[in-house]
Amino acid sequence: MTLSTAPLRFAASLQNDRPVSENIADARRAEDLGYAEVWANESGHGRGVFTELGAVASSTTSIGLGIGIVNPFHRHPSVIAMEAATLDELSGGRLRLGLGASIWNLRHLGEADARTARPYTATIEAVQIIRAMLHGTPSIASTVFEVSPATHLDFAPVRPDLPVYL
């Protein structure tokens, strides 16, 4: 058995049911302790992950910021691309975007609809739309989301190859 020589990376998890001020304090503490990343989620109708991580980005200097996850059934992929590129700019290129078309939460909230019947397709198409917008290339013909091939960001993102995690 070969052991990896890659350094360990530690991350902290911020929860959207806690006050933003507490999550900022925890993120600062994690940064001071040498953690590589803090990850925030967007579940239910808790605090919005982009706003929360924007506050964390403004209160920290080097720790990586991860979204784990944002749901394209809650936020349209074009909005996710816009928000992610803006947050990546604000943070100086520290964002990692987690994306997943979760349906269990939508069913629980009574918000499931015909689009949610195909979460795998929705996830793939959302990634394709987001990547196209970040790269400034024509978007795809989506079967789940309404999107024009001409949809684009009105600014150049800091990192067109922003990491997307599934």
What's the pLDDT tens digit per position in 110-163? 667 777 788 899 999 999 999 999 999 998 889 999 999 899 999 999 999 999
Domain that residue 138 falls in: 11-165
pLDDT at 113: 73
How many other C-beta atoms are found inside a 10 Å radius of the C-beta of residue 33? 10
Residue 159 in domain = yes
pLDDT at 23: 98
Residue 2 in domain = no
How many separate domains does the chain show? Answer: 1
Residue 97 in domain = yes
Residue 4 in domain = no
pTM given for the model: 0.91
Distances (CA, A) of 133 to 31, 115, 124, 136, 152: 31, 21, 14, 5, 5
Residue 38 in domain = yes
Q: State the CATH number of the domain containing residue 49.
A: 3.20.20.30
Residue 161 in domain = yes
pLDDT at 102: 77
Name every residue whose Cβ is closer than 8 Å to that of residue 133 and which is 6 or more positions away in sequence: 77, 78, 81, 82, 85, 139, 151, 152, 153
Residue 1 in domain = no
105 band by pLDDT with thresholds 50, 70 and 90: low
CA pair distance 110, 122, nearest whole angstrom: 19
Residue 45 in domain = yes
Distances (CA, A) of 158 to 2, 81, 124, 155, 164: 37, 12, 23, 9, 15
pLDDT tops 70 at residue 109:
no
Q: Which of 72, 65, 33, 28 is nearest to 50 (CA)?
A: 65
What percent of the chain lies above the pLDDT cut of 70? Answer: 93
Under DSSP, is residue 125 helix (H, G, I), strand (E, B) or coil? helix
